[in-house]
Amino acid sequence: MDLNGNAVYELNKKDVLALRIKHVGSPTALYFRHDPLMIVKGEGQYLIDEKGNRYLDCINNVAHVGHSHPKVTEACNEQMSKLCTNSRYLHNTHVSLAERLANTFPNPLDVCFFMNSGSEANDLALTLAAAYSGGTDVITMDSAYHGHVRSCLEISPYKWRKPEDHKDYVHVVSAPDVYRGKYAGSENPGLDYANELNQKIEIMKDKNRKLSAFIMESLQSCGGQIIPPEGYMREAFRYVRAAGGLCIADEVQVGFGRVGSHYWAFQLQGPDVIPDIVTVGKPMGNGHPVSAVITTKEIADSLTNKLPSYFNTFGGNPVSCTIANTVMDIIENENLMENASSVGKYLLEKFELLKKKHKIIGDVRGVGLFIGVELVRDEKTKEPATEEAEVMYNRMRDRYILVSLDGPFNNVMKFKPPMCFTYDNADQLAEVLDDTLSQISC
């Protein structure tokens, strides 16, 4: 019944699944296709199904400060009851969020554009780079994912399925993977991977192609929770700028303090490593669609060469900006960066102990609450344990813990939980993972 005593039309899980199969596009992703979960509620770091079962959510980096955070809900409702309109009117929430975001970045990154999704943010970043540089070509990373609009799909090898998906203007370099990548075991992998990028630039020059931008996820998530080695971004950015291109850091999945020690993941590479453009989204609205591009005034002003004006119908509306401001309040007031740092370190230590016990764990890597555990069949050959990972994924769900798999071989467990994840949650996760891996043999 609703608040007025009227009957509410509700469907059971079987009916919902049947309607989804009938009316929702088949490529639309669904967890656990053999037996999907029907989630009806979220609380903090938990998701709750229609039967009342509580699942520990170890993967939802969108519900950044926790599912259904009451302060986010309250702020959203209050602003929605007053005004929700576009940004072509002046409103204090719009400029206060822009100022606040800018203050988290190093100079000269102090100008913001607002939109609704990470895909839109990356699309605008590419447009800005082309407008400023005059270039046409983009360098991206193998297994990169930057969004679902066409411009982003074309620079996301993670989404390519056919040779023709690789466009001539897109140039792919190796992901800086120090475990199984091209320069794994190198004395200076950061320099080696950056040099490979420079070689790609030289090939482009020989073909008379002009670089517009190099785009990279500050920490590559869908590609397998990859942490770039020391010095990589510094050297890569130097080569890109020398060629006249701009450097775009995609923080859509990893920003807003997830790494614990810094607000933005690119800052892990050192105070002198500053992108030209940064894109943010997902956790920014804690589930509400809001995203942003942050850049310099000079680069922002160059957009007039491409467009008469910039306007996004919903981007920067008072409700979205209020929610984003509230999320940033919660990160600060609830000490969530400190929590990400301490609980993340604790969880990494737990996983390292499991690695010593279970040979199937080939590598443990991460920072803050961004952690990857790679499963292999052989420690020396690093043969991916893809099938075993799938078994583990489903058995963890049966124990009411939600994890996800990714990477080129779908053998990397990804952990990006809400930032309110606790030590007790880490203990529960490690215990169930230990039990599950004990039942799986390679």
Q: What is the mean pLDDT of residues 318-323?
A: 98
Predicted confidence at residue 1, as pLDDT, reads 45
Angstrom distance (rounded) from CA 442 to CA 438:
11
Band the pLDDT of 33: cuts 50, 70, 90.
Answer: confident
Residues carrying CATH 3.90.1150.10, the chain? 13-65+335-438
Percent of the chain's residues with pLDDT above 90: 91
| pLDDT, mean over the chain | 95
Q: What is the mean pLDDT of residues 174-188?
A: 96
Band the pLDDT of 5: cuts 50, 70, 90.
Answer: low
More confidently predicted of 211 and 26? 211
Neighbours of 430 (CB within 10 A): 17
- 13-65+335-438: which CATH topology? Aspartate Aminotransferase, domain 1 (3.90.1150)
Band the pLDDT of 4: cuts 50, 70, 90.
Answer: low
Q: What is the mean pLDDT of residues 259-278?
A: 98
The answer to whether residue 11 scores a pLDDT higher than 90 is: no
Architecture of domain 72-333: 3-Layer(aba) Sandwich (3.40)
More confidently predicted of 308 and 172? 172
Instruction: List, as one string, the DSSP characters of 61-101.
Output: SSSTT-BT-HHHHHHHHHHHTT----TTS--HHHHHHHHHH
Q: What is the mean pLDDT of residues 204-222?
A: 97
Band the pLDDT of 97: cuts 50, 70, 90.
Answer: very high
Residues carrying CATH 3.40.640.10, the chain? 72-333
Find the range with the poorest average confidence among 21-25, 279-283, 356-360: 21-25
